[in-house]
Amino acid sequence: MRLLIAGGGTGGHLFPAIAVGKEFAAADKRNKVLFVGTTRGLERKVVEKEGFDLEYIDVKPMVGKGAADKIKSLFTLPGALMQSLSILRRFKPDFVLGVGGYASGPVVLGAKMMLLRTGIQEQNIFPGITNKILGKIADNIFLAFKEAKTFFKKSKVFVTGNPVRKSLFDCNANDAYDFFMLDKDKFTIFVFGGSLGASSINKSFINNLAKLDAIKDNIQVIHQSGDSDYDFVKESYENSEIKSFVAPFIFNMKDAYCVADIIVCRAGATSISEIAALEKAAILVPYPFAAAGHQKKNAQALAAKGAAIMIEDKDLDEKLMDVLTDLYNNKDKLKKLRDNIGKTKKIDAAKEIVDVIVNRAAGKAGHV
């Protein structure tokens, strides 16, 4: 059986897709998986490292662009559709899954034109523009949150939760400490702003390092900076007395999660799903410009359950280091955060999605 997964761009779209791809490949050793994305997206760095084949289409984003750029993007769509049809004819998938991001649009549309079975996977409470459009033509819709059902035809919907990569659970703490060249007896803070970094988190954390002076000898930081802030973040730690590991992008997230005592990150659905699955304490900093404020709603929902601490972007300078210091000094608070977020986890999402895909792909085309 053959599965084609289209989309990506950011880790929020890509990592759940990888979890589905791994689950599908493990279901039967004869199964084949192909990813389709763009050279601009994170998939270019990650997919082949995860053991999957990857092909590209030439399409550009429209969301968040000016009128001139949107017109240019529109002109790429016919060519991207032709590229998608060519890939579909060559790979001959039994099922095509769009995971969001602008690369998924032409591929899923092409699959429908070829009368192939299709589905989309939506990671957020508020779907992105691509999935809103594709939801009208896709045969199956896999949702992370039941609240997203209002955007789609109910008969197509499966509420599965967000797929989490099984590789995240395969960690040896001693090896992880050695990889990052960190101390086993120090309190470890893991800072990341999503797969592309978050400049406001980077700058606030670095500019306020002095507020950690009282505990600096007993803490260490793993910091995923993104490309644009890497030099600034790296140099700042080198000039401080805080032990650190800094990288633009951390491929072995399982090791970073494994040794983290507290995580500081955005409140994207994929990051939250991974943190919950691993039962990690977290300070969530919602991206203030997320569509319909969905990251803030994610963080508020967890904070209300005592499952995470939320700090808004505008309050980072004032609150972040005080909260970190308090959690360092109060291990009971840390444990409560871990216990409470663990109650929200759902780790079988990838299997549920693959079960539906296999059943649909094995069925008769007439009922799709």
Q: Are 14 and 8 in contact (CB under 8 A)?
A: yes
Q: How far apart are CA 360 and CA 96, in angstroms?
A: 11
Residue 331's CATH number: 3.40.50.2000
Q: State how far the Cα of 319 lies from the Cα of 14, in Å rounded to an integer.
A: 32
d(CA 58, CA 77): 8
Distance CA 167, CA 295 (A): 25
- 8 & 103 share domain: yes
Same domain, 137 and 181: no
Residue 69: pLDDT above 70?
no
Q: Residue 30 to residues 27, 48, 291, 294: CA-CA distances in angstroms? A: 9, 19, 40, 39
pLDDT of residue 364: 47
The answer on 90 and 146 residing in a single domain is yes
Residues spanned by the domain of 107: 2-164+347-367
pLDDT digits (tens, 9 = 90+) for 99-156: 998 899 999 999 999 999 999 999 988 888 889 999 999 999 999 988 889 999 999 9
**pLDDT at site 267:** 93
Looking at the fold, whether 191 and 255 belong to one and the same domain comes out as yes
244, 220 contact by CB (below 8 A): yes
Q: What is d(CA 73, CA 59) in angstroms, rounded to the nearest whole number?
A: 7
pLDDT digits (tens, 9 = 90+) for 193-229: 865 558 999 999 999 999 999 999 999 999 999 989 9
244 lies in the same domain as 334: yes
- For residues 81 and 137, membership in a common domain is answered with yes
Query: What average pLDDT does the chain have?
Result: 91
Query: What phi and psi values does residue 101 have, to the nearest 5 degrees?
Result: 90, 150
